[in-house]
Amino acid sequence: MSPELVPGNEAPEPMPTSTGIQPQRNEDSPLGLTATVPEATTDPSVSASLVESRPEEQLPIVSDFIEGYVQYADILEAPPDAHEAVAAELIASAICEKVFIPHGADRVPLDLWLLLLSGSGFGRNTLVSLARPVMKAAGLMGLIHNRTWGSRQALYQMIAEHPAGLFVWPELSVVLKKLGDKAFAGAKEWLTDLYDNPEIPEAIRYRVTGKKSDTPPIEFSQAPRINILATSSVDWFLSNISQEDALGGFVPRWVVRELARGRSVPFPRRPDQSAVAALAEHLRRAHELSGDADISRIRPHYERWYSKTQRRFSEHRTSSLAMPFFNRLRTHVLKLAVIYEVSQSLSLRVTPHSLGRAIRAAQASETAILRLLATGLSREGAEVDRMAEVIRTAGLEGISRSELTRAFQSLRNFEREGRLSTLTDSRKAHRFWRRTSGRNAEIFVHQDFVAEYRRRHPNESEA
């Protein structure tokens, strides 16, 4: 296979401009690229009025929206991956109403639910605020929905009035608690069913008594196209979901990304406002795109990724939980490929280069999914996993019971013992007795190191 056909190695196609003229390198431009409009042109496709109204004007053109946005927004403790996710969500929100992916008999829309898992101190509430100047300059502020709802009826009404746009949930667990309340019974299932659904929801009607106080029905004019950008910590997220959320399809609909540890930034610098115009222009043009994406060039590469990834999920020890995630991840990759293509070329003709970027993003999501699956999608499972990680970090020599007790001294004794028993019963950790001059020491060794530990300490007995 020639190098240019390998996903990720192919150079991006030139990005079209409003005049058909390709961008040129300009060191004075905030993002390094401009497209020069000439004083005169013989190309009949170029509007004479455009040339006459803006002679010699240089229009800023961002060469890649996602990369340009990361450069603009990377001023916080959050790692660049967080800003890349925000930029991808902005593009998805801009094109989701009119762009589709042909997939067999279906046309898959660009609904994208993106969950960023991180620790505290990342400025999660600030992440999206950096996008507002870009959205405002692009004339797309109406796509961002920040309203909260006091009832499920208020949720239904808001989506009926604003059927396309981006929900921003700075703490997903707060929304999940609300959706789990009796006042919102059925709302989570209803929202889940909207995802990628081409059908217009049925009107929601209330009892009619013929009085003026009758509640009017909530009617929908189009199939909602909902995008969500949410953040949370692993612990808070797991505290508010269940295995039923995975099997029922709510959690697998999310592209999950666990962010790396943040940086120390005592005084964040101001974002470069001179970059906003070029980013906004790119987003505005993306919003004008419509039609079906052309994925013909990426089919063989996608099929290879599909086969290998399906095998990994189907062979997972909890395949009944894992496969619903794969069933969504396979379309997430195609959506991300379209998003990356629009980011780099404002085109719907998807290249292997964009698929390569999408696959790398999907691999990061798969890593986060596998970690969640290891907990059994529960908070208790996450706490057991945290104890296992402490034992693993101790390495080849293991960790003594007294050291483990100090590490988890905030736990009640029965909680600590219960989690230890779970680890030893599942053979994720092994218990050894080491002879000392006093009482025998109890040592716990992670399964990754147990074979070498036995070789080094043949005289120790294993419980």
| CATH number 1.20.1260.10 is the correct assignment for the domain at 379-462 | no
152 in Cβ contact with 184 (< 8 Å): yes
Share above pLDDT 70 across residues of the chain, in percent, rounded to a whole number = 85
Comparing 193-207, 208-222, 235-249, 318-332, the range with the smallest average pLDDT is: 235-249
Coil, strand or helix: which one is 105? Answer: coil
Instruction: Give the model's pLDDT for residue 242.
Output: 78
Instruction: Give the model's pLDDT for residue 14.
Output: 47
Mean pLDDT, residues 98-119 taken together: 93
Mean pLDDT, residues 211-222 taken together: 88
Q: What is the mean pLDDT of the chain?
A: 84
Residue 172's nearest CA partner among 156, 188, 186 is 188
Share above pLDDT 90 across residues of the chain, in percent, rounded to a whole number = 57
Comparing 2-6, 10-14, 281-285, 428-432, the range with the smallest average pLDDT is: 2-6
Where are the domains positioned within the chain? 18-60, 61-374, 379-462
E strand or H helix at 368, and its extent? helix 352-374
107 in Cβ contact with 246 (< 8 Å): no
Mean pLDDT, residues 10-38 taken together: 39
CATH architecture of 61-374: 3-Layer(aba) Sandwich (3.40)
Q: Given a cut of 50, is residue 151 above it in pLDDT? A: yes
Residue 336's nearest CA partner among 305, 306, 357, 363 is 357
**Residue 54 vs residue 134, higher pLDDT:** 134
Burial (0-12, 13-18, 19+ Cβ within 10 Å), 171: middle
Q: Give 7's pLDDT tier (boundaries 50, 70, 90).
A: low
Mean pLDDT, residues 20-40 taken together: 37
- Locate 145 and state its tokens: 């929905």
Output the DSSP codes for 155-190: HHHHHHH--EEEEEES-HHHHHHHHTSGGGTTHHHH
**Residue 22 vs residue 192, higher pLDDT:** 192
Any idea which residue has 């099929």 for tokens?
303
Instruction: Give the model's pLDDT for residue 123.
Output: 57
pLDDT digits (tens, 9 = 90+) for 115-137: 999 865 555 667 778 899 999 99
**Dihedral in degrees, nearest 10, Cα atoms 445, 451, 452, 458:** 90
Q: Given a cut of 50, is residue 3 above it in pLDDT? A: no
Q: How many CB atoms lie within 10 A of CB 147?
A: 9
Instruction: Give the model's pLDDT for residue 33.
Output: 38
User: Is 379-462 in the same CATH topology as 61-374?
Assistant: no
- Locate 449 and state its tokens: 């190191």
Instruction: Give the model's pLDDT for residue 463.
Output: 81
Residue 172's nearest CA partner among 111, 250, 95 is 250
What lies within 8 Å, CB to CB, of 113 at 6+ separation is: 195, 226, 227, 228, 230, 253, 254, 255
Mean pLDDT, residues 229-254 taken together: 86
Instruction: Give the model's pLDDT for residue 41.
Output: 38
**pTM tops 0.85, yes or no:** no
76 in Cβ contact with 265 (< 8 Å): yes
Q: How many helices (H) and strands (E) does the chain have?
A: 18, 15
Instruction: Give the model's pLDDT for residue 47.
Output: 35
Q: Give 34's pLDDT tier (boundaries 50, 70, 90).
A: very low
Q: Given a cut of 60, is residue 420 above it in pLDDT? A: yes
Comparing 44-53, 239-248, 314-323, 342-351, the range with the smallest average pLDDT is: 44-53
Instruction: Give the model's pLDDT for residue 215.
Output: 83
Residue 353's nearest CA partner among 298, 294, 306, 283 is 298
Question: Distances in Å between the alpha carbon of 95 and those of 23, 98, 230?
Answer: 23, 6, 19
pLDDT digits (tens, 9 = 90+) for 441-455: 999 999 999 999 999
Instruction: Give the model's pLDDT for residue 61.
Output: 63
- Locate 268 and state its tokens: 């964040």
Q: Give 1's pLDDT tier (boundaries 50, 70, 90).
A: very low
Q: Given a cut of 70, is residue 2 above it in pLDDT? A: no
Question: Distances in Å between the alpha carbon of 387 and those of 51, 232, 390?
Answer: 67, 21, 5
